[in-house]
Amino acid sequence: MKIPFIDLKTQYKTHKDEIDTEVLGVLESTQFILGPQVSKLEKDLATFVESKYAIVCSSGTDALLISLMALDIKAGDEVITTPFTFISTAEVIALVGATPIFVDIDEETYNIDANLIEKAITSKTKAIIPVSLYGQCSDMDKINKIAKKHGLHVVEDGCQSLGATYNGKESCNLSDIGCTSFFPSKPLGCYGDGGAVFTNDDILAKKIRTISNHGQEERYKHKYIGINGRLDAIQAAILNVKMKYVRDEIRIRGEIGARYNQLLQDSNVIPPKILEGNTSVFAQYSIRHEKRDDLISKLNQAGIPTAIHYPISLHQQEAFEYLGYKDGDFPVSEKISSQIMSLPMSPYLTKEQQDLVINTIKEFS
Ligand SMILES: Cc1ncc(COP(=O)(O)O)c(C=O)c1O
């Protein structure tokens, strides 16, 4: 049995007719940038997360970058985030000229430890970027409260968590701005790069939209320095089809995640912990094991693909050497990155495939 890590092929085959028709429609219309598909997607995404605005853009990274630009974050400012995330989260802070300030993570959720944030706040701090890692939100109430007390913005990096809920509220609509990614392997993925920014703030929404289109409010009148951050109509057309099925897929992801958790309970791995009040979209189903690399070999030998999200904490990346952090500065992040590994997860994972993964893990002593 060959198990895909994320089964995009079955998903495409299931919705092929609809997707092909929509893509061909865009080709025939020759409206490739923005247009009706993009407007429809924005309307439906805003409804999905119950926010006033959704502004789609070229990637999750650009969604974060545009957000920081719209908040006027610049050289001399500091932005607090987690070292246990994909590089984009901190990359964008550096790209606007600001300084990423890392705060260690919570050992249960792998998200930023909200109890450590206040200690990292200085007179230069302008924002906090919590990441809803693997599809579970951070302690957003606590983070928003800290931000309010210190006059900071909160930008949720929801690149892995669209469709997750936190105390009944939708991820990406839990703070000033929420950002998500439509990278193909995400719970809602397009067939290239794509992303979206969500906000309820009228002024910020207008600015975000303007910045994502070269800072232009009218053609050839540029109010801000912006970027070419628009989403292609073909990607919007694909996402419009996938939007019809995403709630069902998220429900199935939750069921598969719960089944993994239940059946791995009496194994020697540490399954993900989803806190009360949270639902996860399991963008990744990530477990921990002290002999992670040996377990990966065993699974790979049985034809089971795995991945590591993420093997190196950001403060230990060469690109961030200039920040002056050293090994040991974020012990929880360092420990988790040495033990974490992700298992196959998609709404199309069959029971037989999942059983093979679970049984192979249980055979590993
Ligand atoms: C936590 C996190 N932030 C940011 C991104 C960047 O998204 P994209 O790949 O769409 O630029 C990703 C996606 O890979 C992510 O997982």
The 3 state secondary structure assigned to 250-299 is: HHHHHHHHHHHHHHHCCCCCECCCCCCCEECCCCCEEEECCCHHHHHHHH
Is there a single domain that holds both residue 122 and residue 259?
A: no
End-to-end alpha carbon distance in the chain: 23
- Which of 239, 260, 280 represents a domain boundary (last residue)? 239
Percent pLDDT > 90 in the chain is: 99
Nearest protein CA to atom 8 of ligand 1, as residue: 60
Place of tokens 């994502």: 212
Q: Would you say residue 1 has pLDDT above 90? A: no
Query: Do 344 and 5 contact (CB within 8 A), yes or no?
Result: yes
Is there a single domain that holds both residue 67 and residue 148?
A: yes
Q: What pLDDT is stored for residue 192 in this prediction? A: 98
Residue 183, ligand 1, Cβ within 6 A: yes
Name the 3-class secondary structure at 112: strand
Is there a single domain that holds both residue 312 and residue 225?
A: no
Atom of ligand 1 nearest to the CA of 85: 1
d(CA 151, CA 196): 25
pLDDT digits (tens, 9 = 90+) for 147-202: 999 999 999 999 999 999 999 999 999 999 999 999 999 999 999 999 999 999 99
Is there a single domain that holds both residue 202 and residue 262?
A: no
- Which of 239, 255, 278 represents a domain boundary (last residue)? 239
Is there a single domain that holds both residue 98 and residue 197?
A: yes
Is there a single domain that holds both residue 321 and residue 349?
A: yes
Burial class, 70, CB count within 10 angstroms (exposed 0-12 / middle 13-18 / buried 19+): buried
Q: What pLDDT is stored for residue 2 in this prediction? A: 84
Q: Would you say residue 268 has pLDDT above 70? A: yes
d(CA 6, CA 348): 8
Q: Would you say residue 334 has pLDDT above 70? A: yes
Is there a single domain that holds both residue 347 and residue 253?
A: yes
Nearest protein CA to atom 7 of ligand 1, as residue: 60
d(CA 79, CA 125): 6
1 lies in a domain? no
CATH number at residue 38: 3.40.640.10
357 lies in a domain? yes
Residue 89, ligand 1, Cβ within 6 A: yes
Query: Do 148 and 25 contact (CB within 8 A), yes or no?
Result: no
Is there a single domain that holds both residue 212 and residue 262?
A: no
| Domain assignment of residue 258, given as a range | 246-363
What is the count of structural domains for the chain?
Answer: 2
- Which of 239, 268, 284 represents a domain boundary (last residue)? 239
- Residues in Cβ contact with 272 at an 8 Å cutoff, skipping those fewer than 6 apart: 134, 136, 257, 261, 280, 282, 285, 286, 287
d(CA 159, CA 181): 5
The stretch 336-355 carries a mean pLDDT of 98
Is there a single domain that holds both residue 114 and residue 225?
A: yes
Would you say the pTM of this structure is higher than 0.85?
A: yes
What tokens does 147 get? 């931000």
2 lies in a domain? no
Is there a single domain that holds both residue 199 and residue 287?
A: no
281 lies in a domain? yes
177 lies in a domain? yes
d(CA 6, CA 343): 9
Is there a single domain that holds both residue 235 and residue 279?
A: no
Residue 131, ligand 1, Cβ within 6 A: yes
CATH number at residue 268: 3.90.1150.10
Q: Would you say residue 45 has pLDDT above 80? A: yes
Distance of CA 133 to the CA centre of its chain: 7
DSSP 163-194: T-EETTEETTSSSSEEEEE--TTSSS--SS--
Q: What pLDDT is stored for residue 203 in this prediction? A: 98
pLDDT digits (tens, 9 = 90+) for 203-232: 999 999 999 999 999 999 999 999 999 999
Residue 159, ligand 1, Cβ within 6 A: yes
Query: Do 2 and 305 contact (CB within 8 A), yes or no?
Result: no
Is there a single domain that holds both residue 207 and residue 271?
A: no
Q: Would you say residue 365 has pLDDT above 70? A: no
Distance from residue 16's CA to the centre of ligand 1 (Å): 26
d(CA 157, CA 70): 15
